Amino acid sequence: MNHRESVDHHAVLRARTLLLGSGTINIHETVDAYRVLAKVSPAVYLPRLAQALLEYDRVTPRNAETRLAVVTEAAEAAGRMDETDKKRAALLLEALEALREELLLLGRTDEARSVGHEHSRPAPEGEHSS
């Protein structure tokens, strides 16, 4: 995390409390919590965010635009993971394959062919996905 970037400590506390609570939370809440926590602890929470986004993609009703946004975010999260993380390669491959599949279903063949090149490296400093 960039030290210049402000952190909403209340949001971090809410996210941690939600994840650690004894109640069940839905996939939307899980993804939102991991988005917040990935900003302050990327090594721990980027893999969890990527996994949660891929799970979200599997359990939500089919909507092409939403699914494309979700699998794109999953690929970006997996691509930003530490390259020494053992989970990175498998998560990145799964996310990129889901992204390719969605682009092909949308008829965006040229974009589907180029998937993997731009998502395999960490985002430049200051560039973050939402």
Indicate the average pLDDT of the chain: 84
* CA–CA dist 97, 37 (Å, integer): 25
Amino acid at the residue 130: S
Give yes or no for residue 22 having a pLDDT over 80. no
pLDDT at 21: 83
Contact (Cβ atoms closer than 8 angstroms) between residue 96 and residue 116 = yes
**pLDDT (tens digit, 9 = 90+) per residue, 65-124?**
889 999 999 999 999 999 999 999 999 999 999 999 999 999 999 999 988 765 544 444
Q: How remote is the C-alpha of 48 from its chain's centroid?
A: 8
- Tell me, yes or no, if the pTM score tops 0.75: yes
